[in-house]
Amino acid sequence: MKKKLWFVLIFGFFIFPYMYGQKVLLQIEAESELALKEIDSLDYKKLFSNYLELEKEVYTVKNKLIKKGFIDTAVREIKKQNDSLFNAYLHVGKKIKTVRVYLDSEFDKKLLEFSNTLVQSNYFEVSVENLEAVLELLNKRIAEQGDPFSTLQLINIKKEKSNLIAAELFTENNLKRQIDKIVVKGYERFPKSFIKRFLKLKKGQSFNLPEIQKRNEQLQNLRFAKEIKSPEVLFTNDSTTLYLYTEKTQSNNFDGYLGFGTNENTNRLEFDGYVDLRLVNNLNFGESLRLFYKSDEIDQQTFDIRLNAPYLFSSPIGLDIGLTIFRKDSTFSTTTQQLKLNYQVKPNHILSAGIKNSVSSDLLDSNSNLIDDFKSNYYQIGYNFIKPQYYDTLFPINFWLDISAGLGNRKQNGLETQQNTLSLEAYKIFNLNNKNSLFIRLTGAALTSDNYLDNELFRFGGINSIRGFEENSLVANLYGVINTEYRYRLSNTIYVHSVIDAAYFDNDINDVKNKLFGFGFGLGLLTKAGLFKLNYSSGKTENVPFKLSDSKIHVSLTSTF
């Protein structure tokens, strides 16, 4: 008994690998060389570990041939030639090139637009190879119209001609779905007006999940909120509830800097700086409030306050109001008020129209031709575009464009002068790779008038204009500035950059036209307190050499809370 048991074990040990390790080979034959060529073009698998896998591959080949238009393809037999070879015999038949699909009278033929089909009054024709793709497209478009559970089926399939088959399209429609309720999870106090106007989602809207997902991605373009999860839908027998998952983000911003340099006349160290406070969405309406104060080293002060209230009363119209007070030592002061109505065409595109008026006073009562009391009124139009990249904490805005034009007049001593204004600010970051990027910024403004007053001209220069010059020390009725920085990231929180600036300006009062240049370098460091920036720059005018004693060092800190 023991000898028999040992014999069985030894026999199984040697025969088992052979039984389960032997491969089988598939060879397919057809009724003609042409048919065989079609089969070989499919590049089917030929070696298998067992018969079941081989048989499955044969029927896979059959289905591929049917999809190519050989609808009469049939497996005649699978015959074993020897222990390792099987022959499969397929009848391929003649290729059918076209399918004619008949439609009922209620079918909307607009669904077939851009489907690469020939559409007639009551049918459409499509190649057999494209049939499946066209049916999938039809089903998708029906779902986009609010019926996500619709199904399509071809019935009464028959051969009309040797190269044409016909079928009827049967559409099983369900109850059309529309959004009955929108629920925000995570940030429950998310402004409802932004759901309706910014995301363009509202109750009663036809349900289209791909479009909803696309619109929900626009949350990434908001500074005060972000998407934390893809939208979800709850279907019941008689309602559709859409769930949006958002999270409120820190969006308040404090920015300030301290600048110091040597006074050319006194050779003493002088300081200047500014404070820029931006409060965003603190009342959960998407509103923003900006408070700005600047004190220049040449005894100039600027105070600016602006309020932006988007989507007033859930309308597509927003309100932008502002007040600016500028004072130059004891020479003059100018107060400017502005009111604009904004219309958001798309999430990143805003059109605006409004009025602006200014009142300026000659504090010295000098009765000079250069400085005098005046009042001005302008009607303005504008356009703003923004492309954010809020995932990048160092450089959150990739592209910015703001352009405005004004038509108005200035009243001075009872005389009225027609005037026009134009202003532009644009900048773009070109991301070369993960570490290197190029920043280019263009700013400019122009005032056209028959004559000019010094206290109505533009003032520029400094850290937010052409670097290397005193803040607001340059006066012009026309100017343009280009700022460039080559930026290199040392890490996710540290970067260094170059400073290469150029500017041109006209001052028709003094008959001065000049070119300016600024060169230097800078450092940015993201800390727990905020983004710390250090800039060293030196400026020069055309045909005048650099003076290191005129260099400017600017230190700023931008904190988000």
% of the chain residues with pLDDT over 90: 39
- Element of type H or E holding 65: helix 51-67
Rounded to the nearest 5°, which phi and psi values hold at 33?
-65, -35
- Collect all residues with Cβ–Cβ distance below 8 Å to 230 and sequence separation of at least 6: 213, 216, 245
pLDDT at 142: 73
CB 534 within 8 A of CB 528: no
Span 33-50, average pLDDT: 88
pLDDT at 138: 79
Is residue 177 pLDDT above 90, yes or no? no
pLDDT at 1: 47
When the pLDDT of each residue in the chain is averaged and rounded to a whole number, the result is 85
- Collect all residues with Cβ–Cβ distance below 8 Å to 337 and sequence separation of at least 6: 322, 323, 356, 357, 358
Is residue 16 pLDDT above 60, yes or no? no
Enter the tokens of residue 206. 């036809």
Least confident of 182-186, 317-321, 546-550: 546-550
pLDDT at 448: 95
Smallest CA-to-CA distance from 338 within 310, 305, 360 is with 305
Span 9-32, average pLDDT: 64
pLDDT at 17: 42
Is residue 68 pLDDT above 50, yes or no? yes
pLDDT at 104: 78
Span 30-41, average pLDDT: 88
pLDDT at 549: 67
Q: Tens digits of per-residue pLDDT, 188-206?
A: 999 999 998 888 888 888 8
pLDDT at 163: 78
Q: Tens digits of per-residue pLDDT, 434-480?
A: 899 999 999 999 999 999 999 999 999 988 889 988 888 899 999 99
Span 207-234, average pLDDT: 84
Q: Using the 8-state DSSP alphabet, how is residue 178 labeled? A: B
Q: What is the distance between the alpha carbons of residues 267 and 264, in angstroms, rounded to a whole number?
A: 6
Span 231-259, average pLDDT: 84
The confidence band for 8, taking pLDDT boundaries of 50, 70 and 90, is very low
